[in-house]
Amino acid sequence: MRSSRFRHIALVVMLVAGSGPLPGCERHTATDSDCLAIVHRLVELELTESGFRDPIVRDRWQHEISSKVSSDLGHCRGRRVPDDLAACLNRARTQEEITHGCLR
């Protein structure tokens, strides 16, 4: 079960890497902070959907997954992301809202 979550998050990081700019959207180049924010929000939503609410478990998962996908973050850095990425990530209530709303 853990490996499928890691694969899902790695897939999303790859989607960020492959997302191109949309006309009319204000975008900027993704920083390490942007990429990590995406991963952290995805992990947070996954834990919430799975019923994990313990802050210690959440912190441990954030650290573990961040270290596992750190090599994939190179695919994200430098890609174009919306200027309102942080606000969009905060508004997102599902992983799909991130992949289909914040990263398009």
Which sequence spans correspond to the domains of the chain? 28-102
Q: Which pLDDT value is given to residue 12?
A: 64
Q: Which residues of 18-35 are buried (b: 16+ CB within 10 A; e: fewer)?
A: ebeeeeeeebeebeeebb
Q: Residue 10, SS3? A: helix
User: How many whole angstroms separate alpha carbon 65 and alpha carbon 9?
Assistant: 8
Which ranges of the chain would DSSP assign to H, the alpha helix?
Answer: 2-18, 32-50, 55-69, 73-76, 85-91, 95-97
Q: Residue 22, SS3? A: coil
Per-residue pLDDT of the chain (104 residues; tens, 9 = 90+): 556 666 667 666 665 555 554 444 688 999 989 998 998 898 888 888 888 888 898 888 888 887 888 777 888 888 889 999 999 999 999 999 998 888 87
